[in-house]
Structure 1
Amino acid sequence: MKCPKCEHEQKYKEGMTCLSCKYKFIIDPKEKGHLNDYKMKLRIEQVSQSGQVYFTPRQLYALYRGKFKKSYALTMLVFGAIVISLFLAGGSPEGAVVVGVGFTIAILYEVFKKSWLSEQNFLATFNHWYTRSELVKEVKHLVLQPELKLPKNVREKDIYNYGVEAVIVTDQDVYVDLFVKNNYHTQYKALIISKHLYPTYLTPRLKQLLQEKPDLPLFFIHDATLEGLQTMTQFRNRAELATEGHPCIDLGLTPAHFNQLKPLKRLLQGIDDTHAPLDYLQHQHFTSIFNKYIVERAEQQALLSEEELSVIEADELSDRILMIDLIADDFG
Structure 2
Amino acid sequence: MNNTRSSRREFVKQAATAAAGFTIIPNFTVSGLGHKPPSDKMNIVGIGIGGKGHPNLVAMNTENIIGLCDVDWKYAKKCFDEFPEAKKYYDWRKMFDELDDSIDGVMVATADHTHAIVAGHAMVMGKHVYCQKPLTHSIYESRLLTKLAAKYRVATQMGNQGNSGDGVNQVCEWIWNGEIGEIREVHAWTNRPIWPQGLQRPTEQMDVPETLNWDLFIGPAPMRPYHEIYTPWNWRGWWDFGTGAFGDMACHILDPVYRALQLEFPDSISGSSTLLNTESAPQAEKVRFSFPARQRKGRVKMPAVDVYWYDGGLLPDRPRDLKDGESLLFDQMG
Query: What is the TM-score normalised by the length of structure 2?
Result: 0.23
Query: What is the TM-score normalised by the length of structure 1?
Result: 0.23
Higher normalized helix content (fraction of residues): 1
